[in-house]
Amino acid sequence: MCGIIGVTGSADALDILLDGLERLEYRGYDSAGVVLIDDEGISRVRIADGTHSVATLRKVTPEADHGQPAGIGHTRWATHGHPSERNAHPHLDCSGHVALVHNGIIENHAEIAAELVAAGHTLASDTDTEVLAHLIEDALKTGLSLTEAVRRVLRDVRGAFALGVVSMDDPELIVAARRVSPLIIGALGGQSFLASDIPALLERTRDLMVLDDDQIAELRPGSIVVTTIDGVVVTPPPLHVTWDVEAAQMGGFDDFMTKEIHEQPQAIADTLRGRVDADGRIVLDQLDLSDDDLRAITQVSVVACGSSFHAGLVAKYAFERWMRLPVEVDIASEFRYRDPVLHENALVVGVSQSGETVDTLQAMRKARESGAKVIVVSNVVDSSMAREAHGVLYTHAGPEVGVAATKTVVAQIVALELLGLRIAQVRGTLSADEIATELAALGSMGAIVAEAIARDDAVARVAAELADAREFFFLGRGTGYPTALEGALKLKEISYLHAEGYPGGELKHGPLAVIEPGCVVVAVATGGPLKEKMLSNVAEVKSRGATVVLVVDDGDALAAASGDYVLRVPAAPVLMAPIKDVVPLQQFAYHLARARGLDVDRPRNLAKTVTVE
């Protein structure tokens, strides 16, 4: 997830770009850059300075500013290519006449890059984006206008994009285009603007338009023409923004946690994007493990902390079913101080949103020293874990600001399940048809999660009824067990209420003694072979006086009848069920925390990234 911005027709173009980039930093800050353009030429400044990228850019850009009236800018969340100045946007074509900024992923960039290099182009970065500048360069050479050149190129690329493109041939013009990635445009008083998100433009204009998929906008000073990819002129519906800037930074949501819960379908889609080729082969290109390496694996060990550990637990069920290999999932702080037995052909998978959690990092180091192959599932490109592991599998959830992990957890489950299917594919433990079925099911999870998120009001009503409760148990069996652990962790973390997560079958071995009237038991009783057994556990706690909240699949009236309160979710295959079952549990924790007047984004005593033991 990156942020882009553009302006034409302004005496303050540079200030508009820099102010906008500051407002877009929440979308990533691995690097930042601008291009300013006029009849004299293109001036480009790029900085890779981590969290200070935009601030440093502001310090150094005055030298490049000669009052150019147009420009484009970018703040980067690295996906392809390390966070570095070389990979920072804007990117140029070979001649330096075309510059562009991009948010999204060009899925077929590798094959395009090979063709471009064979045709004599020189690529100056490791990004997926740069190929677009060279494709546009070639299209311009055939005599097309910039708009037509962009239109032609977009027909040949796969993936997601929001683009801003400028060319020396027509320096007042910015061509903007969108597929999947968000893009808004607006014009006011002789100036025209584009940006990834509303906050970037709110100080300039409140009257905006949202570009639709496969629409292309020609921005000239004070005027905008929008066409479809086929060249038909269209008028996007106007959007008048009434929020203030602070609210707009959170996309109109009250807090980052809500925003990030709503971003889960996108996180799932972005994590799946480009990872299956036309032949149905799962492509995890930064894994750096050959098919022979994957075939040689004799055991899998997952190490992680907190919510990432729960994602690992979900993966265990899928890995064992699909790969038929022994799988262990360890809390990293335990693993690193044990003497774990790792065979020569062990695969150790670190799971970490930040890629910096010290216990997970040390556990991975220990595994590496013992000779195991070590990979990491990380949301942060070039994190310490990504640098130290043999291979990386990135989740593409975008930056997560709320301390409570939400969208990164579902993205981790998706990424781990892709890994499981890849290994099963190579080892032949699943047939091509079975792999295709599982991939299709994973592909449908975004829509299912969106449907679950839309039921927030129902969850809020249940939370309001239980606002005075102080003791919570979360129960689940099978993949419902890690879901229950995650539900309990979310509740503890942001509401400061006591919550325990347990496997349903374990209750009678002790915890049942604690159950009494006043206790709330949240039971995950969605589909799967263990649902009846789960409902028996529910009967056990009900008979001891607990109040029961049941998470059940749509249409399961029998299960629903066992609960005092019911949270309904759409059904999904059992190995993927946690991806959607966790949604009402996130919302339940959220509403209980808000009812207690707490800051859900910054809970007490906690930090987003835990780099101390």
Phi, psi values for residue 56, rounded to 5°: -65, -40
Contact code string over 475-504 relative to ligand AGP, x by CB under 6 A: ------------------x-----------
Phi, psi values for residue 604, rounded to 5°: -60, 150
DSSP for residue 278: T
Contact code string over 442-481 relative to ligand AGP, x by CB under 6 A: ----------------------------------------
Part in contact with ligand AGP (CB under 6 A); list of ranges 149-157, 189-197, 397-405, 432-440: 397-405
Whole-angstrom distance, CA of residue 37 vs CA of residue 58: 17
> Is position 578 an interface residue for ligand AGP (rule: CB under 6 A)?
no
Nearer to ligand AGP, 360 or 537 (CB): 360
Where does residue 82 rank: exposed (0-12), middle (13-18), buried (19+ CB within 10 A)? middle
Q: Taken in order 124, 130, 135, 138, is the CA torsion positive or negative?
A: negative
608 included as an active-site residue = yes
Whole-angstrom distance, CA of residue 411 vs CA of residue 401: 15
> Token match 């302006």: residue?
7
From 2, 316, 407, 531, active-site residue: 2
Q: What is the DSSP string of 328-372?
A: EEEEHHHHTTS-----TTEEEEEEESSS--HHHHHHHHHHHHTT-
Nearer to ligand AGP, 465 or 599 (CB): 599
Nearer to ligand AGP, 272 or 489 (CB): 489
> Is position 425 an interface residue for ligand AGP (rule: CB under 6 A)?
no
Nearer to ligand AGP, 127 or 353 (CB): 353
Tell me if 54 sits within 8 A of 18, measured CB to CB: yes
Enumerate the β-bridge partners of residue 169: none
> Is position 127 an interface residue for ligand AGP (rule: CB under 6 A)?
no
Q: Taking CB positions, which residue lies at the least distance from ligand AGP?
A: 306
> Is position 53 an interface residue for ligand AGP (rule: CB under 6 A)?
no
Nearer to ligand AGP, 112 or 489 (CB): 489
Q: How far is the CB of 579 from ligand AGP (least distance, A)?
A: 16
> Is position 405 an interface residue for ligand AGP (rule: CB under 6 A)?
yes
What is the chain's Cα-based Rg? 25
Where does residue 531 rank: exposed (0-12), middle (13-18), buried (19+ CB within 10 A)? buried
Q: In what order do the strands lie in the sheet with 207-210?
A: 41-47, 31-38, 70-76, 3-8, 191-195, 184-188, 207-210, 238-240
Q: How far is the CB of 449 from ligand AGP (least distance, A)?
A: 17
Whole-angstrom distance, CA of residue 47 vs CA of residue 57: 6
Residues of span 340-359 touching ligand AGP by CB under 6 A: 352-354, 357
Q: How far is the CB of 67 from ligand AGP (least distance, A)?
A: 45
Nearer to ligand AGP, 217 or 311 (CB): 311
Enumerate the β-bridge partners of residue 34: 45, 73
Sequence-separated (6 or more) residues with CB below 8 Å from residue 532: none
> Is position 255 an interface residue for ligand AGP (rule: CB under 6 A)?
no
| The binder of ligand AGP chosen from 360, 384, 479, 483 (CB under 6 A) | 360
> Is position 414 an interface residue for ligand AGP (rule: CB under 6 A)?
no
Q: At what angle do helices 577-595 and 480-495 cross, to 10 degrees?
A: 20
Nearer to ligand AGP, 70 or 488 (CB): 488
> Token match 């809500």: residue?
258
Q: Which H/E stretch holds residue 559?
A: helix 557-560
For 537, the token pair is: 């556990």
Part in contact with ligand AGP (CB under 6 A); list of ranges 28-36, 129-137, 387-395, 398-406: 398-406
Give the count of residues interacting with ligand AGP (CB under 6 A).
Answer: 15
> Is position 330 an interface residue for ligand AGP (rule: CB under 6 A)?
no
The amino acid sitting at 577 is: A
Contact code string over 517-536 relative to ligand AGP, x by CB under 6 A: --------------------
Q: How far is the CB of 352 from ligand AGP (least distance, A)?
A: 3
Nearer to ligand AGP, 192 or 360 (CB): 360
557-570 core/surface letters (b: 16 or more CB in 10 A; e: else): eebbebbebbbbbb
Nearer to ligand AGP, 6 or 402 (CB): 402
Q: Which H/E stretch holds residue 300?
A: strand 299-304
Q: How far is the CB of 530 from ligand AGP (least distance, A)?
A: 26
Residues of span 267-326 touching ligand AGP by CB under 6 A: 305-308
Q: How far is the CB of 331 from ligand AGP (least distance, A)?
A: 10
Binding site for ligand AGP (CB under 6 A): 305-308, 352-354, 357, 360, 403-405, 493, 609-610
Q: Name the residues annotated as catalytic.
A: 2, 608
